[in-house]
Amino acid sequence: MTKKSEKSGIEYLEHSGINWFPGHMSKALETIKKHIKQVNIIIEVRDARAPLTSGNKAMYDNGGDKPYLIVLNKANLADPEMTKQWQKYLSSKNESFIFINALDNDSIKEIVKRAKSILHAHRLKSNPDVTPKEKMSLMILGLPNTGKSTIINKLANRNATKAASKPGQTKQKLWVKIDKNIEMLDTPGVMPPKIESDTHGLWLSAIHAIPDHIVTPDVSACFIINHLIKTKSSAFQEQYKFESLNIDLLNACDHIAKLRGCIMSGGMYNYDKVYNLVLNDFRKGLLGRTTFERAPQ
């Protein structure tokens, strides 16, 4: 692996151990490279359930000359106690971060407020006499499914269906105005995930930052079930009417199969159906709030 000091952030990533890098991401990396110099501030969207693994500062942080804000989205799906631990940890590292729920409009306003103040603080470093700059341009980066489009659409004050450009329709504008002083690059930079271990792969799969076929749905679902048993998730227990969570993975799958009628013609349990059901319920938020990655102590 090439050391960061020898390469720019983006090159660093391209040369690291990425084992899933489809075409649309290399295209998005081009967007990032092309526009990073034109924006004043980077908004990196991550998933609050895996705050470090779902991010990659090396993508844009070349020696700290570009101000950034790490947005930990989907905090409404994360364990509140674990989020507190993460807030402590990230503060101790002097990170610029904010935990939000992109579905909530106040969270979106908070992003703009924080971005403005970070940008001002950054400019003060080189000139203590600067007055707050009115103009600001920003770019949203992040892994797939972290909520970039949701945030962009809310910032641009439009709904997602309207934003989806259909083939043959007028091309989307490259820049959109958020208000008279703030503009945002309309296309999010889709970052490639950096899968450093099997555990990271499982977390990234659970939060759907990588497609199911990479880890496979059965492995992903079994990981989630085990995790929810281990963390004694009451939402998981209620959703599938478990008497207790003193069970193992196989018991749990059999119970869910019976409860939800995942039975094949010969009377055998249809585990694939169980796995898909669990993945769907989990991603709809029906299995409660959980955080996969623990804050380093």
Residues 131, 104: contact at Cβ < 8 Å?
no
Residues 65, 72: contact at Cβ < 8 Å?
no
Contact string 179-198 vs ligand GDP (x = CB under 6 A): ---------x----------
Nearer to Mg ion, 149 or 231 (CB): 149
In the complex, the smallest distance separating the C-beta of residue 46 from Mg ion, rounded to whole angstroms, is: 14
End-to-end Cα spacing for the chain? 27
How far apart CA 163 and CA 210 sit, in angstroms, is 23
- The secondary structure of residue 38, as a DSSP letter, is G
Kindly tell me which residue out of 132, 285, 294, 296 binds ligand GDP, with binding defined by CB under 6 A: 285
In the complex, the smallest distance separating the C-beta of residue 173 from Mg ion, rounded to whole angstroms, is: 16
Residues within window 148-207 making contact with Mg ion, judged by CB under 5 A: 149
Q: Is 132 left (phi over 0), alpha (psi -120 to 50) or beta?
A: beta
- Among ligand GDP, Mg ion, none, what does residue 146 contact (CB within 5–8 Å per kind)? ligand GDP
Residues within window 121-150 making contact with Mg ion, judged by CB under 5 A: 149
Residue among 120, 119, 136, 118 nearest 180 (CA): 136
Nearer to ligand GDP, 73 or 233 (CB): 73
Type of residue numbered 74 = K
In the complex, the smallest distance separating the C-beta of residue 91 from ligand GDP, rounded to whole angstroms, is: 21
Residues 73, 100: contact at Cβ < 8 Å?
yes
How far apart CA 136 and CA 41 sit, in angstroms, is 8
Residues within window 66-95 making contact with ligand GDP, judged by CB under 6 A: 73-74, 76-77
Residue 69 backbone dihedrals phi, psi, to 5 degrees: -130, 125
Kindly tell me which residue out of 21, 91, 103, 174 binds ligand GDP, with binding defined by CB under 6 A: 103
Kindly tell me which residue out of 54, 83, 96, 145 binds ligand GDP, with binding defined by CB under 6 A: 145
Nearer to ligand GDP, 22 or 285 (CB): 285
- Among Mg ion, ligand GDP, none, what does residue 87 contact (CB within 5–8 Å per kind)? none
The residues, ordered by sequence, that sit 6+ positions from 220 with a Cβ below 8 Å of its Cβ are: 202, 205, 206, 212, 275, 279
Residue among 288, 226, 233, 281 nearest 259 (CA): 281
- Among ligand GDP, Mg ion, none, what does residue 290 contact (CB within 5–8 Å per kind)? none
In the complex, the smallest distance separating the C-beta of residue 150 from Mg ion, rounded to whole angstroms, is: 8
Type of residue numbered 216 = T
- Among ligand GDP, Mg ion, none, what does residue 150 contact (CB within 5–8 Å per kind)? ligand GDP
Contact flag: residue 31 with Mg ion (CB under 5 A): no
Contact flag: residue 142 with ligand GDP (CB under 6 A): yes
- Among ligand GDP, Mg ion, none, what does residue 101 contact (CB within 5–8 Å per kind)? ligand GDP
Residues 17, 195: contact at Cβ < 8 Å?
yes
In this structure, is the dihedral angle defined by the CA atoms of residues 75, 81, 84 and 85, taken in order, positive or negative? negative
* Residues of this chain that bind Mg ion (CB under 5 A): 149
* Residues of this chain that bind ligand GDP (CB under 6 A): 73-74, 76-77, 101-103, 142, 144-150, 188, 285
